[in-house]
Amino acid sequence: MSKEADEKALQLLEKAVQKAQASLEKTKYFQPFLLLLTDTGNIEEYENDIKDATQSYEELKSTLSKRISKNDIDIMILAVDTVIPTQVANGEKQGIRLHLEESSQKNNKIGARFLYIPYDLCSSSQEELYVKLHLPLPIGFPAEYIT
């Protein structure tokens, strides 16, 4: 992977984490969302109004499957608020899961990753919520969408 591809992926990951974190601080949860970086450098953001998180996530997967057919996606991130599987967690329970795929990795056996980012919701002395993020827990697997 090139340094430029790494930088693009990190920037999109940062955007996704900031979006999830802002929502968590405001409402204590976040709805699933999809971020795409096209090969022309445009960022596309997809959300929906489906209240049930599982149904919302499934709809975003459907949107992604349709959108990916244009063959112009460089990086994709599908984000969801989730319980971290016990075989992955280091005692943490709740986390942001980012499904990351990059076109630069599509020919690799491990072409995709779940990044679980454990978090704690905390209160400040002014009773405002803030999110304490922990170190990401990566899981690699074959790409599903950018293939």
Q: What is the pLDDT of residues 74-97, one digit of tens each?
A: 999 999 999 998 888 777 789 999
Residue 100 within a domain: yes
Domain that holds residue 103: 3-141
Whether 147 maps to a domain, the answer reads no
- Please determine, for residue 1, whether its predicted confidence score (pLDDT) is greater than 60: no
What angle (nearest 5°) sits at the alpha carbon of residue 54, between those of residues 11 and 63? 60
- pLDDT of res. 2: 65
pLDDT digits (tens, 9 = 90+) for 42-74: 999 999 999 999 999 999 999 999 999 999 999
Q: Averaged over 98-116, what is the pLDDT?
A: 93
* Residue type (1 letter), 109: K
Q: How far is 50 from 72, CA to CA, in rounded Å? A: 27
103: Cβ–Cβ under 8 A, 6 or more apart, which residues?
Answer: 39, 73, 74, 75, 146
Report the pLDDT averaged over residues 99-118: 93
Q: How many domains does the chain have?
A: 1
Is there a domain that residue 82 lies in? yes
Cβ neighbors of 106 (< 8 A, separation 6 or more) are: 143, 146, 147
Residue 118 falls inside a structural domain: yes
Rounded to two decimals, the pTM is 0.92
